[in-house]
């Protein structure tokens, strides 16, 4: 029998590992007939938001972004996404980016569809236009070798354009593949494992991680990862980018 007082989840000053066994549902106005787990939020010291949505029958995810932009990525299942000017069907691996101050509505979900969202308060850059809505499909995004290592592949889902202040990328590691060095950087991350397993080092603490786990890394949280097991380890992650380091 499992012991309910044990978990791999931890929440520390500058990083957190949130595993599915610790999820507790939140009620979010406008997001109905679904389970919502707020995984990362400013309450823990983060400057991004990350949620996991699991659709039930008649699920509707509707709202109007205010100061924060929202990136919706379909992990599995399907739905229809409507923005002010477009309507598109989304299935696993597809996404919609909704800029700040835009209406959105996701509907016609198949049951158990899962979506991960990343939220960031938008910082406009003088001389650059506000980003527009973007629909995309990860399966069509190239995944070049990361820093020359063919065991690591990085897909960049949003345009690399200074009007954007956030990036969302998918990182794939073949078993045994690992980050080439311990990263120590100002950018913050929120991530979710989509597949596989491995070991993450966060500020010199070592965590076994697998599909379904989420991680928050504050600025300067030192980070390194190696993939283990028989299939590639894949995570989708957020990063703040392209703004003056105040
Ligand atoms: O983009 C990044 O900083 C990425 N290499 N970090 C990470 O995967 N922990
Ligand atoms: Mn990093």
Answer yes or no: pTM beyond 0.90: yes
Contacting residues for 56 by C-beta, under 8 A, at least 6 apart: 33, 34, 35, 111
DSSP string, 203-241: TTEEEEEETT-EEEE-TT--EEEEEESSS-EEEEEEEE-
Q: Is pLDDT larger for residue 1 or for residue 25?
A: 25
Helix (H, G, I), strand (E, B) or coil at 102: coil
Ligand 1 atom with minimal separation from the 237 CA: 8
For residue 1, pLDDT over 80 is answered with no
| Ligand 1 centre distance from Cα of residue 166 (Å) | 13
Q: Which position has the token pair 């965590």? A: 207
Query: Quick one: tokens of 231?
Result: 């299939």
Residue 57, judged by CB atoms within 10 A of its CB (0-12, 13-18, 19+), counts as exposed
Q: What is the pLDDT of residue 135?
A: 98
Q: If residue 51 lies in a helix (H) or strand (E), which one and from where to where?
A: strand 49-64
- Would you say how long the chain is, in residues? 246
Residue-wise pLDDT tens digits, 54-100: 999 999 999 999 999 999 999 999 999 999 999 999 999 999 999 99
Ligand nearest to the CA of 183: 2
| Ligand 1 centre distance from Cα of residue 217 (Å) | 10
Q: Is pLDDT larger for residue 158 or for residue 2?
A: 158
């Amino acid at each position: 029998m499992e012991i309910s007082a044990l978990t791999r989840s931890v929440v520390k000053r500058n990083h957190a590992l949130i595993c599915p066994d610790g999820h507790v549902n939140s009620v979010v106005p406008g997001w109905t007939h679904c389970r919502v787990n707020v995984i990362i939020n400013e309450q823990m010291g983060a400057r991004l938001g990350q949620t996991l949505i699991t659709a039930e029958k008649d699920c509707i995810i509707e709202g109007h972004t205010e100061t924060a932009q929202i990136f919706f990525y379909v992990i599995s299942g399907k739905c229809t996404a409507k923005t002010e000017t477009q309507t598109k069907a989304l299935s696993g691996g597809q996404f919609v980016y909704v800029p700040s101050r835009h209406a959105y509505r996701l509907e016609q979900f198949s049951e158990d569809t899962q979506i991960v969202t990343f939220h960031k308060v938008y910082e406009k850059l003088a001389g650059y236009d506000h980003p527009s809505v973007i629909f995309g499909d990860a399966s069509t995004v190239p995944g070049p070798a990361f820093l020359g290592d063919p065991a690591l592949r990085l897909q960049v889902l949003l345009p690399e354009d200074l009007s954007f202040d956030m990036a969302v990328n998918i990182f794939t590691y073949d078993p045994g593949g690992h980050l080439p060095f311990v990263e120590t950087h100002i950018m913050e991350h929120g991530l979710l494992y989509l597949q596989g397993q491995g070991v993450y080092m966060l500020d010199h603490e070592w965590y076994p991680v697998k599909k379904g786990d989420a991680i928050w890394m504050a600025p300067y949280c030192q980070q390194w990862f190696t993939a283990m097991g028989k299939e590639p380890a894949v995570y989708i992650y957020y990063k703040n980018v392209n703004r003056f380091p105040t």
